[in-house]
Structure 1
Amino acid sequence: MSQSQASTEFSTKGAYVHTGEEFNRDTHYIEDRILRGGDNPNEGRWPVEPGRYRLVAARACPWANRTIIVRRLLGLEDVISIGMPGPTHDVRSWTFDLDDGGKDPVLGIERLQEAYFKRFPDYPRGITVPAIVEVASGAVVTNNYPQITLDFATEWTEYHREGAPDLYPEHLREEMAAVNKRVFTEVNNGVYRCGFAGSQEAYDKAYDRLWTAMDWLEERLGTRRYLMGDTITEADVRLFTTLARFDPVYHGHFKCNRNKLTEMPALWGYARDLFQTPGFGDTIDFEQIKAHYYVVHEDINPTRIIPQGPDLSNWLSEHGRESLGGSPFGDGVAPGPVRGDERVAAGHNPLYPA
C-alpha cells in the first residue's frame, strides 16, 4: 500500500462531524484503577507500584495535558514514566513519531493502539490519551482520564514530593464535584460541541451554553483567585487546559468566537496566573496544540493549514491576581525545574523562547 493510499484509508474525515447531529462525546472508558492496596488486576484493581506503569500523554490533547500537569505538581516523575506521542494522528490514533525510530523508547511500540489491542484485541472504542500502560506486559491499564488525576492525588500520596499541593481536599470535594461537572459539560466539552456541531441549530445551542458558562466563570473568578478559593486544586487543572487552547484554537477553529479569552478580564488574568505558576504553563506546547487541531480535524479544516497566530507572548504579562490573596501552593512549595528530557521545545511556548 502506498503512503497516499494509507493516508486515504485511515483518514479522519467523517470521524468528528455528523451532518444534522449534535456532538456527543463517548464517555465510556476502561474503568480499572491503580489503588493503594490494589490486589487484583483481573478485577480492575491494580497496585500502586513505582516503575510499573507508563503514562502515555500527548501534549496536544487537553485531557492528556491534565495528567502531565498533575504528575508534575505532585512530583511523580520518578515513579510514573511518561511517553509523549506526536500531535497528529490518523483514525487509528496516536503515534510515537517524535521518538527515535518512531517507537516509544520504553514500550517499543509505534502506535498507542498496540497497547490497547494487547489487552483487548477487539477494543471497540477510540484509542484515547491519556492512557496508563503496564510496562512489563505492554498492555493498557486505564484511559479513564477524570479518575487518573484524582488517583494520582489520593492513591499515590506515599510518593508525592515534599511540599506537594493537596489537589483534592476532602472538605471541598462535594462543591468541587459540582464545579467540575459544569466545567466539563459546558466548557471542556462545550467547545467541542460547538466545533463538531452537525447543524446550525446544534451549533447555536452549543454556543449559547458555552458562553453562559464562560460568563459564570468570569463572575466566579472576579472575587476569588482560584476556582475553589485560595489555592490551586484539581478544578483549576481541568479548566486551565481548555483556557490555554481557547484563543489559539477554539475561538476560530471551533467557532467559539463571541470574544477572545484575552477580552475577559477575570478569566484572562486567572489563566495567566496559572500559566506563570510552575507545573502549568511549562507543560503547554502551543505549536503541538495548533498542529493537532488544524491537521487532524479534516472535517472542519480540510486544507490542514495551520495558522501562524495568535501572538502568545502576552501569556507572560502581569496578571495582578495576587490582589485577591491566596497562593497557589498554600503551605506547600512549587515544583522544581522541569527535567531536561520533558521540557517543551524552544519556540513552542513563550516561557522557552526560540
Structure 2
Amino acid sequence: MGQLTDGRWSNEQPVAPTDEKGDFQRADSTFRDWLTADGSPGPDGQRGVRAEADRFHLYVSLACPWAHRTLIVRALKGLEDLLPVTVVGPIMGKHGWSFQEEFGGTGDPLYGFDHLHQIYTRSDPTMSGKVTVPVLWDRKEARVVNNESSEIIRMFNTAFDDLGAKPGDFYPAELRGEIDALNDRVYQTVNNGVYRAGFAKQQAAYEKAARALFESLDWLEHHLDGREWLVGDRMTEADIRLVTTLMRFDPVYHGHFKCNWRRIVDYPRLHRLMERMMAVPGIAETVDLNHIKTHYYRSHPDVNPTGIVPIGPASI
C-alpha cells in the first residue's frame, strides 16, 4: 500500500500492517475539518469550512466500501452538480491509488496528477501517513478538508441543504443514539471485521475476527425480524454504512478474506435489505462489481499472489 513520510512516497510498508499478535491495524484518518452550511465548527469543535457551490471535489475509489458510502449519500442528496467526482483506478500498485486511465482511473482534472498521494502532498508537502479514499478536497484553498468517510457522509447529509440538495435526513436527531450504537458494533466487527479476518497474520487473530464478524451478522439478521430498516422506519446512515460491506461480501470477502462461514445470500433479511437499497434510485449506479473484484484480487499479493480475479458470482 505504501505511505507518505515527510512528504515522500514509499511503498516499503505492508499493504495491511499487523501487530505482534497478527491483528490488522487500521490507521486513523489524517484530515478532520468539517463542512457546514455556514462555516461554523463541527460537532466536536472541528474547524468549520463553509459549504459553497463550485468549490469542493470528491476523490473516490469505486472499489472501496468507505468511499462508496460517500457516493451513495451524494446520490441520495442529489449533490452531483455541486460536488464533482474523480475516480482512481481499481489496482493499488507501488504508488498506491492511481488516476492513470490505463489502470482504470478517470485522470485528475484538477492538477493532472498521476497518483492520489500527490493530492495529499499538494495539501501538505510534509505529510506523513496513509493515503486513502475518500478525499474531500477544497479547490478554493487547495487542501484536503476531510478524509474520514463516516464524517464526510454526515457533512453531505446537511451541509448543502441550502444550496439545492434533495431533502432527506439520514441521521435524524431522535434516532442518533440508536444509530451510533449500531454503527459502533457494525464498524468494529463487520465493516472493519472483514479486513481483520482477511489481513490476519496468525490463526488465532483470524478466528477471533471471523467469529465476531458472523456473530454480528447473525445478530443483524435477527435484528431485522419484522422491520425493513436497521433503525426506525426509513433508511438511515446505519443502513448506508452496513450495505457497502454487504455488497462486497459474497463477491470478495467470502473467498478472498476467508469469511466463508456463510454468505450474505444465506441471510434472507440482510439480503433483502441490500436488494431494497439497490432499488432506491441512484444507489445501483454507484456500484461497479468489476472495479470491486479487480481491486481486491489484484491489489493484495500477500492474500492472492497469483492476481487471478474469479469470474463469479454473477451478481451481488
Residue correspondence of structure 1 range 62-77 to structure 2 within 5 A: 62-77=65-80
RMSD: 2.3
Query: 1:176-235, CA deviations, whole angstroms, 9 ceiling, x for partnerless residues?
Result: 110111111110000001001110000010011001100010001122101113211111
Q: Structure 1 pair 161/119, CA: closer, same or farther in 2 (3 Å)? A: closer
Query: 1:139-195, CA deviations, whole angstroms, 9 ceiling, x for partnerless residues?
Result: 322102111100111222213444x32111110011111011111111000000100
Aligned to 1:283: 286
Distance 2:106 2:282 in 1: 27
Query: 1:251-309, CA deviations, whole angstroms, 9 ceiling, x for partnerless residues?
Result: 00000000111111111111111112222222100000001101111110111111111
Q: Is the 8 A contact 2:87 2:105 kept in 1?
A: no
Q: Is the 8 A contact 1:193 1:206 kept in 2?
A: yes
Residue correspondence of structure 1 range 165-314 to structure 2 within 5 A: 165-312=168-315
* Helix, strand or coil at the partner of 2:154: helix
Q: Structure 1 pair 49/207, CA: closer, same or farther in 2 (3 Å)? A: same
Matched, 1:15 2:18: no
* Helix, strand or coil at the partner of 2:276: helix
Residue in structure 1 matching 2:112, options 83, 99, 108: 108
Distance 1:68 1:265 in 2: 26
* Helix, strand or coil at the partner of 2:127: coil
Q: Is the 8 A contact 1:228 1:235 kept in 2?
A: yes
Query: 1:112-161, CA deviations, whole angstroms, 9 ceiling, x for partnerless residues?
Result: 21121012222211111000112245432210211110011122221344
Distance 2:85 2:288 in 1: 16
Structure 1 gaps, min length 5: 1-8, 316-354
Q: Measure how far apart 1:63 and its partner are.
A: 0.3
Aligned to 1:33: 34
Moved more, 289-298 or 28-37: 28-37
Aligned to 2:134: 130
Residue correspondence of structure 1 range 71-90 to structure 2 within 5 A: 71-90=74-93
Distance 2:187 2:40 in 1: 32
Moved more, 275-284 or 72-81: 275-284
Q: Is the 8 A contact 2:17 2:25 kept in 1?
A: no
Q: Structure 1 pair 118/10, CA: closer, same or farther in 2 (3 Å)? A: closer
TM-score normalised to structure 1 length: 0.80
Q: Is the 8 A contact 2:77 2:168 kept in 1?
A: yes
Aligned to 2:5: none
Q: Is the 8 A contact 1:16 1:299 kept in 2?
A: no
> In the alignment, residue 240 of structure 1 is paired with which amino acid?
V
Distance 2:203 2:185 in 1: 23
* Helix, strand or coil at the partner of 1:55: strand
Aligned to 1:119: 123
How many residues are matched?
A: 303
Distance 1:128 1:46 in 2: 21
> In the alignment, residue 66 of structure 2 is paired with which amino acid?
W
Distance 1:300 1:101 in 2: 23
* Helix, strand or coil at the partner of 2:95: coil
Q: Is the 8 A contact 1:67 1:130 kept in 2?
A: yes
Distance 1:145 1:101 in 2: 20
* Helix, strand or coil at the partner of 1:133: strand
Residue in structure 2 matching 1:93, options 86, 91, 96: 96
Q: Structure 1 pair 145/15, CA: closer, same or farther in 2 (3 Å)? A: same
Q: Is the 8 A contact 1:32 1:46 kept in 2?
A: yes
Structure 2 gaps, min length 5: 1-8
Distance 1:110 1:301 in 2: 26
Q: Measure how far apart 1:27 and its partner are.
A: 2.2
Matched, 1:142 2:137: no
Distance 1:13 1:258 in 2: 31
Distance 1:87 1:186 in 2: 25
Q: Structure 1 pair 39/170, CA: closer, same or farther in 2 (3 Å)? A: closer
> In the alignment, residue 177 of structure 1 is paired with which amino acid?
D
Distance 2:279 2:69 in 1: 16
Q: Structure 1 pair 72/308, CA: closer, same or farther in 2 (3 Å)? A: same
Q: Structure 1 pair 12/87, CA: closer, same or farther in 2 (3 Å)? A: farther
> In the alignment, residue 33 of structure 1 is paired with which amino acid?
W
* Helix, strand or coil at the partner of 1:251: helix
